[in-house]
């Protein structure tokens, strides 16, 4: 009987994804894109907002980022707006990100401290609403984890108590002149999330076409999809813009195959 119960429990853990949703595979990863365009329907959409005033353009489960001046947040200037915004959230899973990729903007100890405190202030308001499909998600750069960045990630991280999901953005840039493995690009972020016992995700990922090799990019996209899935990333939203936009057929097919 004990073995039977253990087997049933294992099956439940495989089937249940984030937010209590039942997944169709052993991976909890939800794939999507920013600016889906020709990609077509996606499972999760990346949405960027300046102010958290409304939920326009949020028509499905989404990764939604917004910006507010940290000092004004900490002074309570936006409490009513934030309270209303969280209370009126649509009934989708929403990973909300305050000031995604804040590293280039929070450049002094005072600004970094204000940013961390603003995160705490915002999360307190969100959790007080009792909405259980909202997830505080900090979005940082993979680059911040590299020694060359001269950055310390804890300068931006408010603490495990306040963050539900840790997401790192990163790309296979054309100046690499090769398709680097997903592990090379995303591994450090995944390991950092694991060290903090937090679900991992990527809010912006993708690759440029290297030396005109669209078939190579398509293979890279599929490999990255497997990499995220094998690590049960909560979500992975492709940055379908600029040099990373998937306009060629091989890349389009590869991204669509992840949905």
Q: Tens place of pLDDT for every residue, the chain, 259 residues?
A: 333 333 333 333 333 333 333 333 345 899 999 999 889 999 999 999 999 999 999 999 999 999 999 999 999 999 999 999 999 999 999 999 999 999 999 999 999 999 999 999 999 999 999 988 999 999 999 999 999 999 999 999 999 999 999 999 999 999 999 999 999 999 999 999 999 999 999 999 999 999 999 999 999 999 999 999 999 999 999 999 999 999 999 999 999 999 9
Number of domains within the chain: 1
The predicted structure's pLDDT at residue 206: 98
Instruction: Flag whether 110 is in a domain.
Output: yes
The phi-psi region of residue 158 (left if phi > 0; otherwise alpha if psi is between -120 and 50; otherwise beta) is alpha
Assign residue 138 the CATH number of its domain.
3.20.20.80
Instruction: Flag whether 19 is in a domain.
Output: no
The phi and psi torsions of 99 (rounded to 5 degrees) equal 50, 70
Instruction: List the domain range (segments joined by +) for residue 37.
Output: 28-256
The predicted structure's pLDDT at residue 27: 58
Cβ contact 162:190 at 8 Å: no
The predicted structure's pLDDT at residue 176: 95
Instruction: Flag whether 21 is in a domain.
Output: no
Give the whole-angstrom CA distance, residue 235 versus residue 61: 10
Instruction: Flag whether 8 is in a domain.
Output: no
Give the whole-angstrom CA distance, residue 215 versus residue 249: 9
Cβ burial of 143 (10 Å; 0-12, 13-18, 19+) is middle
Cβ contact 216:180 at 8 Å: no
Structure tokens at 77: 């200037």
Instruction: Flag whether 212 is in a domain.
Output: yes
DSSP string, 178-243: S---HHHHHHHHHHHHHHTT--EEEEEEEEPPSTT-HHHHHHHHHHHHHHHHHTT-SEEEEE-SGG
Global pTM reads 0.86
The predicted structure's pLDDT at residue 28: 81
The phi and psi torsions of 136 (rounded to 5 degrees) equal -70, 125
Instruction: Flag whether 227 is in a domain.
Output: yes
Instruction: Flag whether 233 is in a domain.
Output: yes
Structure tokens at 146: 């590299």
Structure tokens at 163: 């963050």
Instruction: Flag whether 18 is in a domain.
Output: no
């Amino acid at each position: 009987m004990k073995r039977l119960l253990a087997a049933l429990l294992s099956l439940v853990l495989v089937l249940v994804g984030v937010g209590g949703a039942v997944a169709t595979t052993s991976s909890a990863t939800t794939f999507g894109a920013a600016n889906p365009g020709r990609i077509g329907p996606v499972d999760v959409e990346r949405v960027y907002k300046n102010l958290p005033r409304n939920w326009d353009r949020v028509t499905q489960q989404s990764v939604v980022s917004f910006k507010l001046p940290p000092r004004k947040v900490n002074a309570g200037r936006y409490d009513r707006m934030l309270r209303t915004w969280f209370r009126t959230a649509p009934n989708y899973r929403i990973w909300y990100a305050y000031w995604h990729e804040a590293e280039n903007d929070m450049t002094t100890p005072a600004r970094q401290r204000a940013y961390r405190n603003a995160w705490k202030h915002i999360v307190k308001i969100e959790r007080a609403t009792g909405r259980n499909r909202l997830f505080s998600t900090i979005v940082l750069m993979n680059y911040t984890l590299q020694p060359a960045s001269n950055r310390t990630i804890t300068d931006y991280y408010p603490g495990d108590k306040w963050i539900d999901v840790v997401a790192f953005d990163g790309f296979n840039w054309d100046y690499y002149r090769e398709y680097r493995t997903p592990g090379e690009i995303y591994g450090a972020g995944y390991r950092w999330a694991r060290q903090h016992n937090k679900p991992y995700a990527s809010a912006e990922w993708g690759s440029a076409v290297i030396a005109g090799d669209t078939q190579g990019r398509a293979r890279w996209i599929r490999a990255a999809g497997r990499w995220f899935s094998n690590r049960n990333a909560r979500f992975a939203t492709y940055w379908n813009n600029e040099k990373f936009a998937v306009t060629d057929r091989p890349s389009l097919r590869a991204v669509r195959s992840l949905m």
